[in-house]
């Protein structure tokens, strides 16, 4: 069996703007129903399998609670337990998963591992974070920005102050698709790589994306300032070097003041207060980080409804 790439969520490159908007509309509707105590259960008898190589709180919980709320079941395995660390051929694992699971979420290191799973599983596969992309987080960030600024985000300006990493790459793709201006503000050695920018411009010819090296200048007038950890999972050995490189890229009150008056602060969490963001900002009035965390669950429910019904 073959599942078309758009029936998986691997990078977001192959999702159209209409599909993204439809998903965000559905997530907002499901959130509203949830608040009113209504929880439709269209996935009774369906099974989600999650396979992780890295730790997770939000991703694992959001997919697990989403599947349970929709009436389905979920199972969690490490890659080791699933047999992906040498016990058997990854393609055989994928084909067995496809016979028993209705969807698979994978969190791992190389993007190619999620793509290989999707190629062979024959059921929708969702990227729960790789070294290169974090598409569920990016969609959630758009949902959170729509709550702050209304459904039409076109023309808004988002500045990501931090590393050109999985989270910022996916957010850049999501913004480009919806006509949102995106600036990566990073030290010169931590910009997006040329191959990524080329792929993004090919996928979204009108993408409004740029780079700034000086935070106070980059955030001037921004609608949202977003950041993430400086050293991602798997980069523990580079931590000291990154702490030095990003020392002038902390999101603090003066940086928030340089953005628009109604600007919001987003961070996918986990956060390090005193490193990429001050406590005053992340725990302050402009921060939407816990709405953003909750929104992972609403987005996950919308995603399963979209992919499985
Ligand atoms: N934001 C996010 O993906 O969090 P976890 O790593 O805890 O899943
Ligand atoms: N960039 C971070 C995101 C964690 C949700 C990491 O990959 O560790």
Please enumerate in sequence order all residues whose Cβ is within 8 A of that of 240, keeping only pairs 6 or more positions apart, or say none.
none
Q: Which residue, among 178, 142, 184, has the nearest Cα to 165 in the 3D structure?
A: 184
User: What's the burial of 165, exposed, middle or buried (CB within 10 Å: 0-12/13-18/19+)?
Assistant: buried
Q: Which of 8, 69, 113, 137 is catalytic?
A: 137
> What are the residue boundaries of the structural domains of the chain, listed by start?
5-133+293-308, 137-292
Q: Which atom of ligand 2 is nearest to the CA of 268?
A: 5
User: Looking at the CA of 132, which ligand is closest?
Assistant: 2
Q: Please check whether residue 76 is in contact with residue 64, taking contact to mean a CB–CB distance below 8 angstroms.
A: yes
Answer whether residue 1 shows pLDDT above 60. Answer: no
Under the banding of pLDDT at 50, 70 and 90, the label for residue 308 is very high
Q: Which atom of ligand 2 is nearest to the CA of 56?
A: 5
Under the banding of pLDDT at 50, 70 and 90, the label for residue 3 is confident
Q: Which atom of ligand 2 is nearest to the CA of 269?
A: 5
Say if the ipTM goes beyond 0.90.
yes
Q: Please check whether residue 158 is in contact with residue 171, taking contact to mean a CB–CB distance below 8 angstroms.
A: yes
User: Is 137-292 the same fold as 5-133+293-308?
Assistant: yes
Q: Which residue, among 111, 114, 128, has the nearest Cα to 64 in the 3D structure?
A: 128
Q: Which of 223, 268, 288, 298 is catalytic?
A: 268
Domain 137-292: CATH class, spelled out? alpha beta
- Whether the ω angle into residue 47 lies within 30 degrees of 0, i.e. cis, is no
Query: What digits encode the pLDDT tens for the residues 217-227?
Result: 999 999 999 99
Hey, which of 58, 135, 276 would you mutate to test ligand 1's pocket, going by the most ligand atoms within 8 Å of its Cβ?
58
| Percent of the chain with pLDDT strictly greater than 70 | 99
Hey, which of 141, 268, 277, 289 would you mutate to test ligand 2's pocket, going by the most ligand atoms within 8 Å of its Cβ?
268
Query: What digits encode the pLDDT tens for the residues 85-139?
Result: 999 999 999 999 999 999 999 999 999 999 999 999 999 999 999 999 999 999 9
Q: Please check whether residue 278 is in contact with residue 251, taking contact to mean a CB–CB distance below 8 angstroms.
A: yes
| CA gap 102, 124 in Å, rounded | 7
Q: Using a 6 Å cutoff on CB, does residue 307 contact ligand 2?
A: no
Q: Please check whether residue 303 is in contact with residue 9, taking contact to mean a CB–CB distance below 8 angstroms.
A: yes
Q: Using a 6 Å cutoff on CB, does residue 166 contact ligand 2?
A: yes
Under the banding of pLDDT at 50, 70 and 90, the label for residue 2 is low
Domain 5-133+293-308: CATH class, spelled out? alpha beta
Q: Which residue, among 230, 232, 226, 243, has the nearest Cα to 281 in the 3D structure?
A: 226
Residue 202 CA: distances (Å) to CA of 176, 183, 205: 11, 18, 6
């Amino acid at each position: 069996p073959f599942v078309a790439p758009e029936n998986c969520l691997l990078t977001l490159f192959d999702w159209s703007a209409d599909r993204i908007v439809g998903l965000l509309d559905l997530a907002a509707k499901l959130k509203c129903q949830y608040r009113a105590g209504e929880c439709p259960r269209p996935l009774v008898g369906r099974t989600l399998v999650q396979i992780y190589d890295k730790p997770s709180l939000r991703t694992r919980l959001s997919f697990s609670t989403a599947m349970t709320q929709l009436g389905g079941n979920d199972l969690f395995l490490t890659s080791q337990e699933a047999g992906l660390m040498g016990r058997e051929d990854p393609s055989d694992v994928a084909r067995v998963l496809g016979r028993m699971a209705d969807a698979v979420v994978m969190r791992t290191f190389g993007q190619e591992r999620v793509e290989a799973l999707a190629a062979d599983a024959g059921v929708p596969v969702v990227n729960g974070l790789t070294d290169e992309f974090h598409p569920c987080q990016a969609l959630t960030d758009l949902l959170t920005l729509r709550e702050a600024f209304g459904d039409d985000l076109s023309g808004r300006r988002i500045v990501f102050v931090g590393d050109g990493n999985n989270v910022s790459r996916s957010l850049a793709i999501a913004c480009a698709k919806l006509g949102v201006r995106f600036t990566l503000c990073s030290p010169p050695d931590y910009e997006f790589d040329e191959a990524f920018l080329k792929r993004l411009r090919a996928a979204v010819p009108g993408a409004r994306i740029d780079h700034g090296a000086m935070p106070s200048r980059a955030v001037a007038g921004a609608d949202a300032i977003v950041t993430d950890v400086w050293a991602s999972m798997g980069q523990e050995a580079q931590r000291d070097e990154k702490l030095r490189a990003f020392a002038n890229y902390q999101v603090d009150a003066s940086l928030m003041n340089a953005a628009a008056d109604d600007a919001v602060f987003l961070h996918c969490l986990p956060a390090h207060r005193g490193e990429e963001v001050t406590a005053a900002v992340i725990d302050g009035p402009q921060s939407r980080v816990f709405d953003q965390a909750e929104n992972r669950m609403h987005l996950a429910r919308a995603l399963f409804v979209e992919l499985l019904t």
